[in-house]
Copies of this chain bind each other. A is one copy, B any other.
């Protein structure tokens, strides 16, 4: 499972999956599902960031589990990005994301790589807060990369 999640993340979060997603989810439902995935990821990120900064007691095992949780959610994102969702008005994705799918895929890959790195280093013996700050900082930068470019507000 983890291996699969990481593979998906690393090869591009927004790549179309093996499913014909429009047959599985109505566009409105897919957007709701997508936003829920990001919300689940944000909850994990909040704890990871809190531990990295020292606002929450640092716990390597707990941080590692949060990174895996984030990876599990992230691995599902791809199936929510299908063209029919473009017209859903609740979506915060800017039309330019659809017009620049290559650019967005590249940002997705950066995010996938940084998340894969966090999962990996946080599982290693001796993982400490300084390493967490570095790896989580790198990850959050990749979140911002996509938000700044392809998200409303």
Give chain A's interface residues, CB within 8 Å of chain B.
Answer: 1-2, 19, 23-25, 29, 32-33, 35-37, 39-40, 42-43, 46-47, 50, 56, 62, 68-69, 72-73, 76
Contact = CB atoms under 8 A, between A and B. Distances in A.
Contact of A76 (B37, B42, B50, B69): B69
Q: Which of A24, A35, A39, A43 has the most CB of B within 10 A?
A: A43
Number of copies: 2
B40 A40 contact: yes
A65 to B, nearest CB: 8
Contacts of A39: 32-33, 36
A132 B29 CA distance: 23
Given A32-B39, A36-B40, A39-B36, A50 B24 contact: yes
Contact of A56 (B2, B24, B29): B24
A19 B73 contact: no
A94 to B, nearest CB: 22
B40 A73 contact: yes
Contact of A72 (B36, B46, B47, B72): B72
A30 B61 CA distance: 21
Contacts of A73: 40, 73
